[in-house]
Amino acid sequence: MSPPISSLKNVNNIYFLGIAGQLMSALACVAKDFGYHITGSDENAYPPATTYLESSKITWISGHKPENIGHPDLVVLGNHIRQGNPELEALLESKIPFVSYPQMVRLLFPNAKYRLVVAGTHGKSTTTSLLGWILTQAGLNPTVLIGAQSKNFNSSFRLGSKEILVIEGDEYTSSCLDNTPKFLYYEPTHAILTSAELDHMDVFNTWEKQATAFTSFAKSVSQMLIVCGDTLNGNKLSLPTKAKVEKYGLGEFDWQATNIHFSGKLTKFDVSHHEKLLGTFSMHLSGKHYIQDSLSAIALAHHTDIPTHIIQKSLLTFKGVGKRFEVVYDKGITIIDDYAHHPTAIKVTLEAASSRYPSRRLWAIYEPHTFTRVKGLLPQFAHCFDPADIAIIADIMPAREKALTGLVHSRDIVATAKNHPDIHYLATPDEILAYLKQNLKPNDVFVFMSVGKFGDLPKKLSEFITIQ
C-alpha cells in the first residue's frame, strides 16, 4: 500500500474509482480540463454524472473488476466505494499511489490565490453556487465545485482557472479508509461557516465530536472566516483561527440584513457592514435562510474586492440550486421539491413556503434519511412540521444503513410530533401519491422533502394535475 503523493508533478494518467458519483464526476471533468488523462469505473451510474463524463469525453468502465484499474500514475478513491470492492482490494495490494476526493482537490490547486470554502450544516450548496456565480460575473474565472446542480451553471461544477477555487466543504468522511472530514484537506484562504449543528450521527455521535471538526476547520483558514451569528451554535462554537473573523446575520453583527420585504416574487433587503450601508439587494429566493446564505456570499465577495454593483446584479440573476426550494409546478397548485432532511432545514423550508404562499393550504411530504440521523435527532422533530397544515411521513431512506433497519421507524417521528393537528405515516411513494390525488384541493402548496428522488413524487403529482 503506497502513501498518498504530495504533488502531481509526475502524474499524467489518473483513474477515478467511483467516477460516476456527483462529486467525483465533476472533479474528473476538472482534472481532464487541466490536461490529465482520465479513466475510471463505477456501477449504478445515472445522469447528470454520466452526462458530465460524456460531455468531457471521459471513457469509463461500468462495473468493478480487479483488472479494470490497469497501471495509472494515480487512483482517486470515491467516498461511496466500500472495503471489499474488488478494485479497491487490488489497489491495496499494488504499489499504485491513491488519494481521496478532497486530497485530489488540494493537489489540483496547490498555488491558488483564492481557495474559497463554504462549510456548515445547512445552506452549503446554495451559498457555494451563489459565490461562484458572483465571481464568474466579476470576470474572475473561478473553478467551482458544488454538491448539487447549479441552475446558473446548468451543472454541479464550473471549469475555470487554477488560481481561484470555490468549493462546497463537507464535514463527512473522506473515504472508507480515511475518516478525516473532507473540508480539512482544502486549506482555505477564505471560508464561510453557515451553521453548525449535530448531523451525520453515523460518524459524529455527539455534538462535541462534530464541534471538534468545525473547530479544526476554522484553524485551517488563513485569511478570512465569515460566520453566521444567527445560528444556534454559531456563537457558542470555539473558533481559534489566525484568520480575521466576521459574523453575519439578521441580528446586530459585522454584516447585517435589514429592511427585509417581499415584492411580488422578489425578496429585497439592505446590507450593512459595520453599520455602514453597502446597498439594497434583491433576489428571487424566499426565506430568511436564503437571506442569510446570500449575506455570507455578499460578505466574502466584498472581501475579494468585487464591486457592489456586480454583487447586486449577480444576486438578482441568481437562479438557485436544483432541489433547493425548487418550484417544479405552479399553475393554481404549487409543487416544491426540496433537499431538507434535518429538522432545522425542514422547519425553515416550511416557514419559507408559508411566507411566500400565505393563506394557502400547505402540505409537508417528508422522506426521512438514515436511521442514525432520525434516532439521534428524534426530539427535534416535535415541532419542525408546525408551519404545515398537513404532514405526511414516508418510510426512512436507509442509504448506507440498511443493516440498521429497526433502529427507529417513521412512526416514531409521527409520535414525536403528536401535537401537530394533521400528521400521519404513509409508507411508500405509491401510497402517498394515491392519498394526494384523492385529497388535493385548488391552491394547495405541496413541499416534498427528501435527499433522493422520492419515487419521482413531485413529477408524478405534477403530471396528474396537468391532465385533470
Q: Where are the domains of the chain?
A: 13-101, 109-316, 326-467
C-alpha 283/C-alpha 211 separation (Å) is 32
338-358 per-residue burial string, b: 16 or more CB within 10 A, e: under 16: bbbbbbbbbbbbbbbbbebbe
Residues 6+ apart with CB under 8 A from 214: 119, 171, 193, 196, 237
pLDDT tens string 126-170: 999 999 999 999 999 999 999 999 999 999 999 999 999 999 999
> Is the CB of residue 133 less than 8 Å from the CB of residue 166?
no
Beta bridge partner(s), residue 331:
333
Nine cell digits for residue 172: 463527512
Burial classification of residue 37, based on how many CB atoms lie within 10 Å of its CB (0-12 exposed, 13-18 middle, 19 or more buried) = middle
Q: What is the rounded (10 degree) CA torsion for 223, 229, 230, 235?
A: 120
> Is the CB of residue 199 less than 8 Å from the CB of residue 173?
no
> Is the CB of residue 202 less than 8 Å from the CB of residue 214?
no
Q: What is the pLDDT of residue 265?
A: 82
Q: What is the pLDDT of residue 208?
A: 85
> Is the CB of residue 230 less than 8 Å from the CB of residue 251?
yes
Judged against a pLDDT cut of 60, whether residue 233 lies above it is answered with: no
Identify the CA nearest to 384 among candidates 307, 449, 452. 449
Residue 407 CA: distances (Å) to CA of 204, 207, 288, 375, 427 = 17, 20, 34, 7, 16
pLDDT tens string 348-381: 999 999 999 999 999 999 999 999 999 999 999 9
The highest-level CATH class for domain 109-316 is alpha beta
C-alpha 171/C-alpha 120 separation (Å) is 8
Per-residue confidence at 36, pLDDT binned at 50, 70, 90?
Answer: very high
Judged against a pLDDT cut of 80, whether residue 231 lies above it is answered with: no
DSSP letters for 93-148 = HS---EEEHHHHHHHH-TT-SEEEEEESSSSHHHHHHHHHHHHHHTT---EEEEEE
Residues 6+ apart with CB under 8 A from 9: none
pLDDT tens string 67-89: 999 999 999 999 999 999 999 99
Q: What angle do CA 362, 365, 368 make, to 5 degrees?
A: 145
Helix intervals (H) in 5-59: 22-33, 49-55
Judged against a pLDDT cut of 90, whether residue 228 lies above it is answered with: yes
What percent of the chain stands above pLDDT 70?
98
Mean pLDDT value across the chain: 94
Per-residue confidence at 236, pLDDT binned at 50, 70, 90?
Answer: low
Domain at 13-101: CATH code = 3.40.50.720
Judged against a pLDDT cut of 70, whether residue 388 lies above it is answered with: yes
Judged against a pLDDT cut of 80, whether residue 226 lies above it is answered with: yes
- 114 φ/ψ angles, rounded to the nearest 5 degrees: -125, 125
Per-residue confidence at 239, pLDDT binned at 50, 70, 90?
Answer: confident
pLDDT average, residue stretch 308-323: 97
Identify the CA nearest to 172 among candidates 214, 208, 110. 214
Identify the CA nearest to 421 among candidates 445, 444, 387, 450. 387
C-alpha 237/C-alpha 114 separation (Å) is 25
> Is the CB of residue 393 less than 8 Å from the CB of residue 409?
no
C-alpha 338/C-alpha 61 separation (Å) is 32
Domain at 326-467: CATH code = 3.90.190.20
Judged against a pLDDT cut of 60, whether residue 235 lies above it is answered with: no
